[in-house]
Amino acid sequence: MGGKTLYDKLWDAHVVRDNGDGTALLYIDRQLVHEVTSPQAFEGLRLADRPLWRVDANLAVVDHNVPTTDRDKGIADPISALQVETLNQNCREYGITQFGLLDRRQGIVHIIGPEQGATQPGMTVVCGDSHTSTHGALGALAFGIGTSEVEHALATQTVVQARSKRMLIRVDGKAGPGVTAKDIMLAIIGKIGTAGGTGYAVEYGGEAIRALPMAGRMTICNMSIEAGARCGMVAVDDTTIEYLRDRPYSPKGERWDQAEAYWRTLVSDEDAEFDRVVTLDAAAIKPQVSWGTSPEMVVPVDGVVPDPADEPDETKRAGMQRALEYMDLKPGTPIREIRPEKVFIGSCTNSRIEDLRAAASILRGKRIAKNIREAMVVPGSGLVKWQAEQEGLDQVFKDAGFEWRDAGCSMCLGMNPDKLSAGERCASTSNRNFEGRQGAGGRTHLVSPEMAAAAAVAGHFVDIRELEQ
Amino acid sequence: MEPLTRVEGLVAPLDRSNVDTDAIIPKQFLKSIHRTGFGPNLFDEWRYLDYGEPGQDCSNRPLNPDFVLNQPRYQGASILLARENFGCGSSREHAPWALADYGFRVIIAPSFADIFYNNCSKNGILALALPAETVQALFEATEATEGYRLTVDLPEQVVITPEGDRYSFEIDPHRKHMLVEGLDEIGLTLEHADEIRAYEQQRRAVTPWLFEDLGPA
Ligand code: SF4
């Protein structure tokens, strides 16, 4: 028999029972909870008079609805405020550990989990949120679930799951200067498409992935869902282990040694077989900019907006046409001539300290261009914000003309007051460029933090590789 | 969840294909923190002439007289007759919540969108697919006969018309068991509570650090 993939190992270690109908009861080690997808789950528990199976497996935080300014004044929108207060109450009632609005550990759920060491290698991690795939960067099996499943996990510490097929995405060689994890991932999505990973558990490997720090691996795994895969993961190595050392919830003392020994087994065996293998050459990847309304609509920065006339597939051609209209772009326009009016640096994809450092390095001593109406940095967590301030990055951003905000999802989805207005064009480090995602009628271009910062300074997209010389 | 074995009820015909979950329950109502109370906003944009807001009293809102569910003859319907690809679009579980809250227990259509189909069985609604010709015949009978009722027998997997015609339908055993016993998936899983405990015990011995308390907030 052949060896096991990382996914197989994680799966097998968590099967409580095989249901015999293609599904299994899978044990959940960690559930992350946020205010938007959890209220009905708690209500369901109450109606059925069910206790939590294991209170200490849950960690809650408010992120989607929260304002990023004037926190001490509370939340102005009464409906958002109620959703936040409901989570507070549920956590109090059930005894769940929660980082509240004014806690410095508060932040985007997928930032704070790894930051606190609350999500670890070998864990199964769920959350009522599709970007839960982020935590797979630690060598965990992490995926998003619906509200009924949130309740199911709260009540039983399990979810009913069918086993996925296994895909390896191998990025060989070294990425060039100015080419970030975000560019690698956008290139992957551009290659396999937004449904390419449907039905698969994806493992990312190869030299270029191994070379990434944890922050970059999280950026990659985060956007697995944009490639259609519910979960993405990276095998454990020294980078993973060093990242976890001394995190608040990481195991301590003897338990650390025990855990580390186990974690080091969390790699795919040499002879493991995947159902599909996709390879990319890192050296060939250039900085990426999305031009359309789906994450697969992406081109290198030195390219042009594609022409639907060149697309043989009729459905795709129609989709491109619609996207061009929505984005108000003409085929053949050089990407470098596209001029955003807003710049957003944030979201669970790119709001870690490494992302802020990278953006600040471009902005040091510069000012945003006149056509940029608003540029904001929304750190992924209160602790990221604090760290950045220790390093003086806040001053760099402010001097350049950026707003320096409090942590949350913010303009990634515009559920709080941070939104695009109709017709506004934004260089954004987030993960979805769907119609209306950042605000009704808003136009999103997905880029790396460096590319967003460079666009803010130039007033149009620029090839970061030229700046760096 | 209420067990669903045999449903005998009034049929309401919704003669549109590709009814999406946004139409079933529009997005402004997703801000609710409850799973119940969506019934008055089911098909909100089709049902009322004004724009609905969450938290509004719907009893005084202007009804759209042309919408089928507003017709007196369909009041109290518990079986919804629909067209192909019912429940497509977003995965919002608010859609089956709204249908159940309104009073529907069974939805009959030629086909359903996947996620919606799954969400239904998690919420005590039987979504059952019949061949398009059969559905067409049922549409005709429902519209021709005021007070047209159907009997749906889940254990027998059959739909019975007043004329005595019997149409059998397929459903997977897991889903059927859940609905017939009135179990939500949580109830089913808790039947295996001992196995979950045994798993935890064994796991606790091997990976004790996974069971550490996160401590106070
Ligand atoms: S930052 Fe955006 S993608 Fe991430 S959890 Fe928040 S809303 Fe979702």
| Mean pLDDT for the stretch of residues B109-130 | 85
Q: B217 vs A98: CB contact, 8 Å cut-off?
A: yes
Measuring from atom 6 of ligand 1, which residue has the nearest CA? A409
User: How confident is the prediction for chain A on average, in pLDDT?
Assistant: 94
A43-47, A235-239, A274-278, B175-179: range with lowest mean pLDDT: B175-179
Which carries the bigger pLDDT value, residue A264 or residue B216? A264
Residue A173 has pLDDT above 70, yes or no: yes
Report the relative pairing of strands A30-33 and A165-172 from DSSP bridges: unpaired
Please report the pLDDT score of residue A469 as a whole number: 45
Could you report the per-residue pLDDT of A293-318, keeping only the tens digit for each?
889 999 999 999 999 999 998 777 88
| Mean pLDDT for the stretch of residues A282-290 | 98
Taking the centre of ligand 1 as the mean of its atom positions, its distance from the CA of residue A349, in whole angstroms, is 8
Residue B89 has pLDDT above 70, yes or no: no
Strands (E), A131-175: 141-144, 158-162, 165-172
Strands (E), B97-138: 106-109, 126-129
Please report the pLDDT score of residue B213 as a whole number: 85
DSSP A37-73: TSHHHHHHHHHTT---S-GGGEEEE--SS--SS-GGG
CA within 13 Å, CB half, B118:
13
Please report the pLDDT score of residue B90 as a whole number: 54
Q: Which of A25, A43, A249 sits opposite B34 (nearest CB)?
A: A43
Say what percent of chain A tops pLDDT 70.
Answer: 99
Could you report the per-residue pLDDT of A269-284, keeping only the tens digit for each?
999 999 999 999 999 9
Residue A468 has pLDDT above 70, yes or no: no
Please report the pLDDT score of residue A212 as a whole number: 98
Helix (H, G, I), strand (E, B) or coil at A174: coil
Helix (H, G, I), strand (E, B) or coil at A245: coil
Q: How many angstroms separate the CA atoms of A56 and A259, rounded?
A: 18
Please report the pLDDT score of residue B217 as a whole number: 58
DSSP assigned state of B69 = G
The answer to whether residues A275 and A166 touch, using CB atoms and an 8 Å cutoff, is yes
A293-297, A381-385, A451-455, B4-8: range with lowest mean pLDDT: A293-297
Q: Which of A17, A97, A152 sits opposite B217 (nearest CB)?
A: A97
Q: How many angstroms separate the CA atoms of A110 and A102, rounded?
A: 18
Could you report the per-residue pLDDT of A55-108, keeping only the tens digit for each?
999 999 999 889 999 998 989 888 889 999 999 999 999 999 999 999 999 999
| Mean pLDDT for the stretch of residues A34-45 | 92
Question: Interface pTM (ipTM) of the complex?
Answer: 0.93
| Mean pLDDT for the stretch of residues A234-250 | 97
Residue A13 has pLDDT above 90, yes or no: yes
Helix (H, G, I), strand (E, B) or coil at A307: coil
The answer to whether residues A125 and A113 touch, using CB atoms and an 8 Å cutoff, is yes
Q: How many angstroms separate the CA atoms of A58 and B68, rounded?
A: 45
Closest CA to B12 of B123, B120, B143, B137: B143
- Would you say the CB of residue A348 lies under 6 angstroms from ligand 1? yes
pLDDT bracket for residue A198 (50, 70, 90): confident
Is A130 near chain B, with CB under 8 Å? no
pTM over cut 0.80: yes
Q: A43 vs B35: CB contact, 8 Å cut-off?
A: yes
Pocket test for ligand 1, best of A65, A83, A219, A348 (most atoms within 8 A of CB): A348
Could you report the per-residue pLDDT of B92-114, keeping only the tens digit for each?
788 899 999 999 999 999 988 76
The answer to whether residues A98 and A60 touch, using CB atoms and an 8 Å cutoff, is yes
Could you report the per-residue pLDDT of B130-153, keeping only the tens digit for each?
999 999 999 999 999 999 999 999
Please report the pLDDT score of residue A418 as a whole number: 87
**Which region holds residue A355: left if phi is over 0, alpha if psi is between -120 and 50, else beta?**
alpha
| Mean pLDDT for the stretch of residues B17-32 | 76
Q: How many angstroms separate the CA atoms of A159 and A16, rounded?
A: 10
Closest CA to A19 of B115, B188, B125: B188
Closest CA to B184 of A47, A354, A432, A55: A47
Q: A123 vs B210: CB contact, 8 Å cut-off?
A: yes
Pocket test for ligand 1, best of A108, A145, A446 (most atoms within 8 A of CB): A108
Strands (E), A101-164: 124-127, 141-144, 158-162
Q: Which of B91, B176, B207 to mutate to test the interface with A (most CBs of A within 10 A)?
A: B207
Taking the centre of ligand 1 as the mean of its atom positions, its distance from the CA of residue A348, in whole angstroms, is 6
Vertex B46: Cα angle to B41 and B47 (nearest 5) = 55
Q: B210 vs A23: CB contact, 8 Å cut-off?
A: no
Which carries the bigger pLDDT value, residue A80 or residue A29? A29
